[in-house]
């Protein structure tokens, strides 16, 4: 049994519902149902072959978007329960939040956005929503997964004004509205954003050290990490190497979880919200305390400079951009190279973007080689 919901939590029984009406199901709440639909969808299975920092086929040890999403769900649930939030909604949003990502992490998304600039651009958050609203083909009477408003609201983390206006035309008062009104999403959605950040900061330290691109010695310059490294050593002086790394990360993760719980509890008390809708009209409420916010941003800057911009990573991301751009150009020059269902669509450039965005790292590298005769990435 999950804990009782707080008054400001999203209650599945009070959901704003699905775009296509469906009968309630016995034994599962509407948010559990959303979570289950996500776990069974095709885009979810592909997350195992998509990466953020490292290429999926660079090594079997690194995080993929699937393991990342599971870590976000775990951290999200740990924070949701003591706050009395809807754990199943947190889990659904966390598992779906990266469904629209292109192959090759941010490099792939940036390249695709450049290619699509004259045709409305490409945003991975909006693409995640397209996956669950339109692209999945699993049900007899509707496209997509027909998820609840609350899960869809959480998936659409960012959205440009132009895209929000387009969403509003199709679905007035829907998930685009808050980007025009400048209001907040549910606490569960806010929590997933922060859990996402906590998860990738921690696992990128881990993957960064194990890949050899950053060292434990370098991390001693990062106060957030170094504090927990010292704490781990004080408790177990012989600790070194991998176990020291893991123990430091573990201490850091639990301190961040407790920090969010405490700071958010205080913020909720201070503003006195008493319903999920009052949350939407309030300032953002799920947060770190100020000292943790500062120390966490120092860590982010460290990872940006030393890992995400590491020459080896930059080389790979440069190749990845070329692969995505040349794939786009090849399909645009000859749409018959697309699978029949995509080639048949009238919105050719959007069909190309949807097809490329759905690719795994390895498939994109192979398909690029098939179309151009050149191998830019290990496939």
Q: In the complex, which residues of this chain contact Mg ion (CB under 5 A)?
A: 98, 196
- State both tokens at 360: 């795994």
Residues 93 and 272: beta-carbon distance below 8 Å: no
Interatomic CA distance for residues 104 and 111, integer angstroms:
10
Q: How far is the CB of 56 from Mg ion (least distance, A)?
A: 16
Task: Name, in order, each residue with C-beta under 8 angstroms of 338's C-beta and a sequence gap of 6 or more.
Answer: 331, 351, 352, 355
Q: How far is the CB of 70 from Mg ion (least distance, A)?
A: 11
Task: Name, in order, each residue with C-beta under 8 angstroms of 140's C-beta and a sequence gap of 6 or more.
Answer: none
Instruction: Please say which residue, 98 or 204, places its beta carbon nearer to Mg ion.
Output: 98
- State both tokens at 51: 């990466």
Q: Which residue is nearest to Mg ion (CB)?
A: 196
What Cα–Cα distance (Å) separates residue 195 from each residue in 97, 186, 229?
A: 11, 14, 22
Q: How far is the CB of 308 from Mg ion (least distance, A)?
A: 14
Interatomic CA distance for residues 372 and 369, integer angstroms:
5
Task: Name, in order, each residue with C-beta under 8 angstroms of 212's C-beta and a sequence gap of 6 or more.
Answer: none
Interatomic CA distance for residues 344 and 336, integer angstroms:
9
Instruction: Please say which residue, 18 or 101, places its beta carbon nearer to Mg ion.
Output: 101
Instruction: Please say which residue, 98 or 367, places its beta carbon nearer to Mg ion.
Output: 98
- State both tokens at 162: 């132009």
Q: Name 18's bridge partners.
A: 148
Instruction: Please say which residue, 34 or 196, places its beta carbon nearer to Mg ion.
Output: 196
Q: How far is the CB of 192 from Mg ion (least distance, A)?
A: 9
Q: Helix or strand or coil: residue 148?
A: strand
CA-angle at 71, arms to 224 and 126, nearest 5°: 105
- State both tokens at 78: 């740990």
Q: How far is the CB of 246 from Mg ion (least distance, A)?
A: 21
Instruction: Please say which residue, 51 or 317, places its beta carbon nearer to Mg ion.
Output: 51
Count the residues in the chain: 379
Instruction: Please say which residue, 204 or 354, places its beta carbon nearer to Mg ion.
Output: 204
Q: How far is the CB of 193 from Mg ion (least distance, A)?
A: 9
Instruction: Please say which residue, 30 or 98, places its beta carbon nearer to Mg ion.
Output: 98
Instruction: Please say which residue, 47 or 352, places its beta carbon nearer to Mg ion.
Output: 47
Residues 130 and 145: beta-carbon distance below 8 Å: no
Q: How far is the CB of 168 from Mg ion (least distance, A)?
A: 26
Q: How far is the CB of 75 from Mg ion (least distance, A)?
A: 11
Among 139, 169, 167, which Cα is nearest to 152's?
Answer: 167
Instruction: Please say which residue, 15 or 296, places its beta carbon nearer to Mg ion.
Output: 296
Among 192, 186, 191, 261, which Cα is nearest to 12's?
Answer: 186
Q: How far is the CB of 154 from Mg ion (least distance, A)?
A: 12
């Amino acid at each position: 049994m999950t804990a009782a919901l707080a008054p400001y939590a999203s209650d599945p029984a009070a959901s704003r519902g699905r775009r296509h009406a469906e009968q309630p199901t016995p034994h599962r709440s509407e948010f559990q149902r959303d979570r289950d639909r996500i776990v069974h969808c095709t885009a979810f299975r592909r997350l195992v072959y998509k990466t953020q920092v490292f290429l999926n086929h660079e090594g079997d040890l690194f995080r993929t978007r699937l393991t990342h999403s599971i870590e976000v769900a775990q951290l999200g649930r740990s924070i949701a329960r003591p706050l009395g939030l809807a754990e199943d909604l947190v889990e659904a949003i966390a598992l779906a939040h990266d469904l629209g990502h292109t192959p090759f992490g941010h490099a792939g998304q940036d390249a695709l956005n450049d290619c699509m600039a004259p045709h409305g651009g490409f945003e991975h958050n909006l693409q995640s929503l397209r996956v669950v609203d339109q692209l999945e083909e699993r049900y007899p009477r509707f496209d997509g997964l027909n998820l609840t408003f609350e899960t869809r609201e959480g998936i659409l983390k960012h959205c440009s004004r132009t895209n929000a206006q387009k969403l509003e035309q199709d679905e007035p008062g829907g998930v685009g509205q808050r980007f025009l009104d400048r209001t907040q999403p549910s606490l569960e959605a806010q929590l997933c954003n922060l859990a996402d950040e906590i998860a990738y900061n921690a696992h990128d330290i881990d993957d960064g050290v194990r890949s050899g691109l950053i060292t434990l010695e370098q991390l001693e310059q990062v106060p957030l990490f170094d504090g927990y490294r010292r704490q781990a050593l004080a408790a177990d002086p012989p600790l070194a190497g991998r176990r020291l790394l893991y123990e430091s990360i573990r201490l850091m993760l639990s301190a961040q979880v407790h920090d969010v719980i405490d700071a958010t509890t205080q913020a909720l008390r201070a503003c006195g919200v008493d319903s999920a809708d009052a949350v939407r009209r309030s300032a953002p409420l799920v947060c770190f305390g100020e000292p943790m916010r500062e120390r966490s941003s120092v860590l982010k800057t460290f990872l940006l400079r030393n890992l995400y911009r590491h020459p080896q990573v930059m080389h790979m991301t440069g190749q990845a951009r070329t692969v995505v751009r040349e794939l786009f150009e090849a399909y645009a020059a000859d749409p018959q190279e697309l699978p029949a269902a995509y080639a048949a669509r009238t919105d050719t450039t959007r069909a190309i973007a949807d097809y490329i965005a759905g690719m795994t790292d390895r498939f994109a590298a192979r398909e690029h080689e098939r179309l151009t005769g050149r191998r830019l990435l290990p496939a």
